[in-house]
A and B are shown apart, each in its own frame.
Chain A
């Protein structure tokens, strides 16, 4: 039971990182980004590559995951979404573009996985990372539990300080809310948006880094968990960073605990039906509370 809860915690931490970063991109682009899950995978393959090449031990490659995820996200913004936004591309077109980016990214990852296998001679599909065991005041704790939770805490702290206490952060919130007015005041909206995407990609990359500790990782994994990420974001309230946190934990715990409970007698449901849980949460949210949980605590809008 404890193991199950810890599993759920790790998975939820992951979802929180991804759903917050998804929210960051949605705040700038106003459209859901279907390639978001792939950013996580780009991050982890980047980190994995450097782990193999440099022979460094696992957790030291987290910066690479952040870097790869961030740079790739930045590239997609500078090359595709930014130009499209400036030219006034409509909602649906941006959405289709993000799907095209998703397909291209996954193919790229597949090609890279093939390449990695043949050149670096390591497992490039269905690979997992070995964890370390931490000794905390006599308790043995798996590294992933500690590090994933720590990452979430640090990320939330960082975002809070950035957005609320720094000049640039306030400019970010302004540029996200009213880019025209921000532009008039002389704020470089493009720079702000680019930075948001870099940050979002970085956090997604770090989330991706934690994946192989629990799930055999392959290029398509980002798309497979996309549903859960969206469910978390929408449940929390798609324009709310706080909501993304709440949504992430609700979906994460429901998914892990739910799958376990349903697989037990008397239901004995095949665990392959796991996506049904985030799917149900998504549908219920869209039907009953389309603005998500955030609408409960925010007034106006």
Chain B
């Protein structure tokens, strides 16, 4: 798969922690306004790959180009300023603060009018959080917390959001809600989505293109539907039987 020039171009990226290398050189492109899905068995390095693209894990080789700009050496909040957002799997909110305070912090650098305007927009997209704006995040359920983290990214009006297993440990109903919003992000707001998911079937059903990561190596890059229906790969690595 030659790398095409997309919104995100990843070239031979190696990512790890300390002395350990977990992702052993992957190359792919994420097109504008698509849902790009990354799936694979547990421990294959999906989270690490996202963290490398965002800049919170050590990049040991290769490069990341975002919107034509080489961001390989940029610190995370600089990448964030370019419109790249990251929705971590864990610890993605400030639990002892209220929902309102959390979103307020996400929009820390906005002036009050702009913040109010954007907040209205976010609440339209995620009306569910209106009811617990003044509650501390730690009193919320898993699904509610994910929505808060979602809102925190939306208030910054990114052009790309990378989600790391946003539906993990959520009820099927909550998970569907999240998936639904993610699809709407692409369709209604033109936002590019990179989605790492353990729930491979659902992710591949709503994704446009996909990357199959196994033990730090890319085993497949192409249309999501193709991977979903792939005789061997799907059952071997994703546990999908059909």
Contacts and interface: CB of A to CB of B under 8 A. Distances in A.
B97 A174 contact: yes
A180 B91 contact: yes
18 contacts: A167-B104, A170-B97, A170-B101, A171-B105, A173-B94, A174-B101, A177-B95, A177-B97, A178-B94, A180-B56, A181-B88, A182-B94, A183-B77, A184-B77, A185-B105, A185-B108, A186-B108, A187-B105
Contacts of B97: 170, 173-174, 177
B134 to A, nearest CB: 13
B92 A167 contact: no
B104 to A, nearest CB: 7
Contacts of B81: 186
Contacts of A183: 76-77
B86 A184 contact: yes
Interface size class of A (residues with CB under 8 A): 10 to 19
Given A173-B94, A185-B106, A187-B108, 15 more contacts: A170-B104, A173-B101, A174-B94, A177-B96, A177-B97, A178-B94, A181-B91, A183-B77, A184-B76, A184-B77, A185-B77, A186-B77, A186-B109, A300-B138, A300-B139
Contacts of A171: 105, 108
Contacts of A170: 97, 101, 104-105
Secondary structure class of chain A's binding surface, majority of residues: helix
Nearest to A168: B108
Closest 7 CB pairs of A and B: A186-B77, A174-B94, A184-B76, A300-B138, A174-B105, A177-B94, A170-B101
Interface string B72-114: 0000110011000010100111111100010011101100000
Contact of A178 (B80, B91, B106): B91
Interface residues of B, number: 23
Interface string A180-203: 111111110000000000000000
A171 B108 CA distance: 8
Interface in B98-135: 101, 104-106, 108-109
A167 B101 CA distance: 9
A182 B105 CA distance: 8
B93 to A, nearest CB: 8
B99 to A, nearest CB: 13
A187 B105 CA distance: 9
A178 B95 CA distance: 9
Interface in A135-183: 167, 170-171, 173-174, 177-178, 180-183
Nearest to B102: A174
A26 to B, nearest CB: 15
Contacts of B80: 184-186
A300 B137 CA distance: 11
A187 B77 CA distance: 9
A170 B97 CA distance: 8
Q: Which of B95, B96, B106, B152 has the most CB of A within 10 A?
A: B96
A177 B98 CA distance: 13
A181 B92 contact: yes
Nearest to A239: B96
A177 to B, nearest CB: 5
A89 to B, nearest CB: 16
Contacts of A182: 94, 105
Contacts of A181: 88, 91-94
A180 B56 CA distance: 9
Contacts of B95: 177
A185 B138 CA distance: 20
Contacts of B104: 167, 170
Contacts of B101: 170, 173-174
Contacts of A186: 77, 80-81, 108-109
A174 B103 CA distance: 12
Contacts of B92: 181
Nearest to B152: A185
Interface string B183-210: 0000000000000000000000000000
Contacts of B93: 181
Contacts of B76: 183-184
B139 A167 contact: no
Contacts of A300: 138-139
A211 B25 CA distance: 63
Nearest to B78: A186
B98 to A, nearest CB: 10
Contacts of A187: 105, 108
Contacts of B105: 170-171, 174, 182, 185, 187
A243 to B, nearest CB: 14
Q: Which of A180, A181, A182 has the most CB of B within 10 A?
A: A181
Given A183-B76, A183-B77, A184-B76, A167 B94 contact: no
Q: Which of B80, B88, B101, B105 has the most CB of A within 10 A?
A: B105
B182 to A, nearest CB: 20
A176 B139 CA distance: 19
Nearest to A170: B101
